[in-house]
Amino acid sequence: MSITLTETKVNGETPKEPMEFFLGSANNNKPNFPKRPEIDVSFRDVSYSVVTSWQSALKPAKKTILHGISGEFRAGELTAIMGPSGAGKSTLLNVLAGYKIKGSQGSVMYNGRLRTPENMEHFLRLSCYIQQDDYLRPRLTVQESMMIAAHLKLGINVSYEQKMYQVIELLEILGLTNHANTKTKCLSGGQKKRLSVALELITNPPIIFLDEPTSGLDSTSCLQCVRLLKELSRQGRTIICTIHQPTALLFEKFDHLYGVANGECIYQGSTKDLVTYFSKLDLRCPPYHNPADFLIDVGMGEYGADHRALVQSASSQYRSERADEIITSQDDDPSTSHTKKRKEKGLRMTVLRKHQQKTTDVLEFCKKQPSPPPLWAQTYRLLCRNIITLRRNTVQFGLRMLAHLFISFVFGYLYYDAGSKADSVLGNYVFLYGTTLFLVYTGHMAVLLSFPLEMGVLKHEYINRWYSLGPYMIATILVELPFQVLCCLIYNVPAYYCTGQPLELHRFISFVVYSTVTSLTAQSVGFLYGAILPITIAVFLGPVTIVLMSVFGFAIRLKDIPFYFVWMHHFSFVRAGFQSLVFSIYGYDREQLPCETKYCHFKYPVKFLTEMDFAEIDPIPQLVYICVFCFCVYFLTAFVIWRRLNCR
């Protein structure tokens, strides 16, 4: 398989001509990938509707965005989906790319093969979807991003050298070689877009969907981007993108145009034929007027355009073009019969044979494509990526550690030696509560925003089949979890010592274990809230839940809790953690405490535990409960994210 660029000028530089990018050669480090097949994408009677509100419990109010539209996008062509704002361009692209499935009807075919839920995975392997926003990892350099994507997409059977070769070649083709060591957050808009394309080209997909690839780019970058897409299409790819009001120069770079207005097709055909086609419908493009603007104006009903007439005309033109094609194709064959009917039959056979040939290529391509890495390798690569990001995010992580150390000394100062004396038992009790609350909050809040901020990137990478959800979750937790454990230790050691808690190893270990496990469980709840709630609600509901969970068990006995809140007492992992923490300090038959005043009510630790209703606590079942709670929350988080990623 080869990618040949002859005229692309990226980054102001013209690559060597012709520049060949051989992937099929057996030579040294060049990956030996299968030949990329050509795939035509067609769709028939595609509708898409969304539920906007519920009139009653059983009756949803629906809004139809696409109204049974049909069309065909061919391999080797650069297709633009254009139309007025809100016409349904992005929706159509999303439906075709398989990004939106729920609510869509009609059929999408690739090389004549119907796309079904069963072969959706197969289709996704052949295509990639580049969204309008660039979902890049800001702290990674261009080359690191490419290498990690190569590791994740090409698996473990392709050697490091081959992956590197592939990455270097792609960077060269897309004019990013000089920026290989630049962090992606420092790239310009055009460079980011090219990197987004390069990342998906690693597996050399035959179909590329792009949503508004030129949005936010200046005119030079727009031109570079569209030129690049055109070159990629010339190598046999099917490139379909939505585009918003391109300049005339940009417009003429597209081969095929699909005009949409009010969710219906008003034009499909060559960009060159657009003006002539509309003039036949008495819609004349003013001289020196940009045809792209003209199409949008017509779609908006300007120039006296009748929407229904446009839709009908586009539909009949499409049908007759298809019929002509069949006849032309059959005319090439000297052994054709004369009747149109037979010709059409013959055409269908020809198209079918062509598609069958292409289907064989597709199957061959899918079979020989590098297999994705095993789950452990995906986890490893994602973990490496997270560690690089962590290392480059020193301010945030440094501050987190410093905050733990600072609060530790503040508490140590305020409750100095409170743990060793009988007359400050209540003060020490408040210190233990403060410790629980502090570690629960830092665990919870630090990750609350992880998923809302990550969801876009995660969705993009997941849809483009970079990895599975399991490795992603494990790699995320494996970075956050040890870090929180470290923060807990940074807090616990000075605070334990300064507040004069008993210097007995088993009590110290118990103290550290319970406070850390409670903090990690709060972290898991933070992940869950981030996964299920919008940011604005998560930042409010998270702390409310923690406060609610923490009050049960603190200075209130079980028998004093109203019956309708008793379940909350049992359910609260914060309560379980706090009680176990108190037990670690005053339980396990702790000796009588030294009393420096005339009377100390809590001279005997067991008396304190009894009055607080903690005497009967068995810490081990509490530990098991907290761990099970944590595990269930992580499981639920993974399930919720999986649902969000797959309910498209």
Ligand X SMILES: Nc1ncnc2c1ncn2[C@@H]1O[C@H](COP(=O)(O)OP(=O)(O)OP(=O)(O)O)[C@@H](O)[C@H]1O
Give burial (CB, 10 Å; 0-12/13-18/19+) of 217: buried
Q: How far apart are CA 443 and CA 102, in angstroms?
A: 36
Q: Which residues pair with 74 in a beta bridge?
A: none
CB of 83 to ligand X, least distance (A): 6
Residues within window 239-298 making contact with ligand X, judged by CB under 6 A = 242, 244
Between residues 85 and 592, which has the closer beta carbon with respect to ligand X? 85
| 67 or 244: CB nearest ligand X | 244
Residue 48 Cβ, how far from ligand X at the closest point, in Å? 9
Instruction: Name the residue nearer to ligand X (CB basis): 103 or 419.
Output: 103
Q: Which of 50, 120, 410, 493 binds ligand X (CB under 6 A)?
A: 50
Closest approach of ligand X to the CB of residue 62, in Å? 10
Residue 43, classed as helix, strand or coil, is strand
Sequential DSSP letters for 333-392:
STT--S-HHHHHHHHHHHHHHHHHHHHHHHHHHHHHSPPPPPHHHHHHHHHHHHHHHHHH
Residue 16 is classified by DSSP as P
| Minimum gap (Å) between residue 211 Cβ and ligand X | 8
Using DSSP, state whether 210 is helix, strand or coil: strand
Q: Which is nearer to ligand X, 91 or 224 (CB)?
A: 91
Buried b (16+ CB within 10 A) or exposed e, 504-515: eeebbebbbbbb
Alpha-carbon gap, residue 548 to 444, rounded angstroms: 14
In angstroms, the CA 601 to CA 512 distance is 28
Q: CA 126 to CA 110: how far, in whole Å?
A: 10
Nearest to 253 by CA among 235, 236, 234, 237: 234
Binding-residue pattern over the window 502 to 541 for ligand X, x denoting contact by CB under 6 A: ----------------------------------------
CA nearest 626: which of 570, 585, 583, 588?
Answer: 570
Partners of 67 in beta bridges: none
Q: How far is the CB of 89 from ligand X (least distance, A)?
A: 4
Residue 63: CB minimum distance to ligand X, A: 5
Which stretch of DSSP H or E encloses residue 515? helix 505-532
Q: Which is nearer to ligand X, 91 or 290 (CB)?
A: 91
Q: Write out the binding residues for ligand X, residues 75-134 only, by CB under 6 A.
A: 83, 85-91
Phi and psi, residue 216, nearest 5°: 80, 5
Asked if 355 is part of the footprint of ligand X (rule: CB under 6 A), the reply reads no
Output 82 or 326, the one with its CB closest to ligand X. Answer: 82
Between 30 and 644, name the residue whose CB sits nearer to ligand X: 644
If one counts every other C-beta atom within 10 angstroms of the C-beta of residue 183, the result is 17
Residue 254 vs 554, nearer CB to ligand X = 254
CB 574 within 8 A of CB 547: no
Smallest gap from residue 553 Cβ to ligand X (A): 44
Number of DSSP helices (H) and strands (E) in the chain, helices first = 22, 12
Say how many residues touch ligand X, by CB under 6 A. 14
Instruction: Please name the residue that has the structure tokens 């595609």.
Output: 46
Least gap, CB of 260 to ligand X (angstroms): 7
> Does 300 help bind ligand X (rule: CB under 6 A)?
no
Q: Does 65 bind ligand X (CB under 6 A)?
A: yes
Choice from 27, 28, 52, 157 touching ligand X (CB under 6 A): 52
The residues, any chain, with a CB within 8 Å of residue 495's CB and separated by 6 or more, are 408, 409, 411, 412, 431, 435
Residue from 20, 45, 63, 643 binding ligand X (CB under 6 A) = 63
CB of 299 to ligand X, least distance (A): 10
Considering beta carbons, is residue 86 or 470 the nearer one to ligand X?
Answer: 86
CB of 210 to ligand X, least distance (A): 13
Residues that bind ligand X (CB under 6 A): 50, 52, 63, 65, 83, 85-91, 242, 244
